[in-house]
Amino acid sequence: MSSGLEVTTLMDQAARLAFRGRGLVEPGCLVGAVVTDAAGNVIAEGRYARFGGPHAERVALMKAGDAARGGTLLVTLEPCNHHGKTPPCTEAVIESGVKRVIHACHDPNDLASGGTEALTDAGIEVLHQPTALTRLLNAPHIHRTRHQLPWIVAKWAQTLDGRIATRTGASKWISSERSRRLVHRERGRVDAVFTGIGTVLADDPMLTARDLRKPRRRAERVVVDDSLQIPLQAKIIQTARDHPTTVLCSEDSLKTPHAEELRSAGVRLVRLPTDGTLTEVIRTLTQERNWSTILVESGGGLMGRLFKERLINEILVFTSPVLLGDQSAPGAVRGFSPEEISEGLQLELCASFQRKPDVVSVLRVRDPAD
Ligand SMILES: NC(=O)c1ccc[n+]([C@@H]2O[C@H](COP(=O)([O-])OP(=O)(O)OC[C@H]3O[C@@H](n4cnc5c(N)ncnc54)[C@H](OP(=O)(O)O)[C@@H]3O)[C@@H](O)[C@H]2O)c1
């Protein structure tokens, strides 16, 4: 391995391995590793496969064995230097005999940092080389560590003219069956699925991960419903004994007989602050429930509020080849009134692919702290 281009290719190979751990390793960081021998040939790879399991570089170096001597370890996160659930990876790296380590991200966790110094002290050359893909990979972990907030993904299905329902509120089905399967897969990888009362009243969704061989996580369903309008007959309430369900509502609503009925149905009620802001409620619930990732599947009301509080990090949009041509049909986000295009929220398109006939776009919101 010699050229910078080759390092980028190998680092991206490590990143692609790391992505396979989504929903399995959080609150840990997704990590992948590739080992080359002294001649630059790839001899082993590894990834962090489950929370608390062996780290990616350990897995890769163990596979490589003696062949790693004089070689290079490429890893998407700086090797850790502390005793956590596993011993420090720096020890395994030093023992492996590699002469060089290239990592794509300094460990944002103060407890685990110091890997670069420990390796350098042992005579190993350490380089930092992020790629566009590793920046995407590491952003959720950096965000969680920096802000003590989960990574929040907003998902919606829209027509070609950007509408999420007809003027009567009908939205079944804008997206294709294949797109909806992908949404179920995503629900099976997150810790909570949020929606608003408007969506519950219009669509009566279950918001569970269905038709999957094995969901990786069981998401808590959370409904934002200030005045506690959610009917006892709603599917979410009817299934609350089997799937954890929380409703966020005002303090006054907590004291009503309807609140008692909902509690008896197995629903947890949590108080919303009087100003309706969600940041602190989400932060508190995240600490209590150890959430890492939230998927939001709501209409424009809740989306608008979450965007206003800068809580959305990523957007997953399914655009179907349907035109409604009706200005009374709702859009995906409401509550903003920019006068210039430049005043709109500027997003970064990270990926787009097809789930025929839909086009799926993955976008990121820039962290102002970057
Ligand atoms: N195509 C899709 O992907 C998709 C997905 C979901 C829903 N939908 C469609 O979206 C439509 C529903 O849209 P919607 O905007 O009414 O629904 P929504 O976003 O699900 O819920 C909005 C409701 O929640 C309240 N709310 C949100 N955040 C709050 C907060 N922090 N504190 C207190 N209350 C809060 C809103 O109050 P305010 O009005 O006071 O803001 C409003 O009453 C339906 O037609 C549904 O079919 C489409």
Ligand 1 contact via 202 beta carbon (within 6 Å): yes
CA of 305 to the centre of ligand 1 (A): 10
- The rounded percent of the chain whose pLDDT value lies above 70 is 98
Give the tens place of pLDDT for each residue, 170-215.
999 999 999 999 999 999 999 999 999 999 999 999 999 998 989 9
Decide if 56 contacts 33 (C-beta within 8 A): yes
Residue nearest to atom 27 of ligand 1 (CA): 302
> Please, what are the domains in the chain?
4-142 (3.40.140.10), 148-365 (3.40.430.10)
Ligand 1 contact via 224 beta carbon (within 6 Å): yes
Of the CA atoms within 13 Å of residue 150, those in its CB half-sphere come to: 30
- The residue with tokens 């409620």 is 281
Backbone conformation region of residue 263, classed left if phi is above 0, alpha if psi is from -120 to 50, else beta: alpha
Residue nearest to atom 9 of ligand 1 (CA): 299
What are the angstrom distances between the C-alpha of 321 and each of 72, 173, 184, 300, 357? 48, 12, 21, 21, 7
Contacts of 273 (CB under 8 A, 6+ apart): 280, 281
CA of 333 to the centre of ligand 1 (A): 9
Q: Which helix (H) or strand (E) holds 71?
A: none
pLDDT at 82: 83
Ligand 1 contact via 162 beta carbon (within 6 Å): no
pLDDT, averaged across the chain: 95
pLDDT at 2 exceeding the cut of 60: no
pLDDT at 4 exceeding the cut of 70: no
Q: Which two tokens stand for residue 23?
A: 């929903």
57 catalytically annotated: yes
Give the tens place of pLDDT for each residue, 212-245.
989 999 999 999 999 999 999 999 999 999 999 9
Q: Which two tokens stand for residue 121?
A: 């002290």
Give the tens place of pLDDT for each residue, 49-85.
999 999 999 999 999 999 999 999 999 999 998 877 7
Helices and strands per DSSP (H, E), number in the chain: 12, 14
Give the tens place of pLDDT for each residue, 321-351.
999 999 999 999 999 999 999 999 999 999 9
Q: How confident is the model at residue 274 (pLDDT cuts 50, 70, 90)?
A: very high
Q: How confident is the model at residue 370 (pLDDT cuts 50, 70, 90)?
A: confident
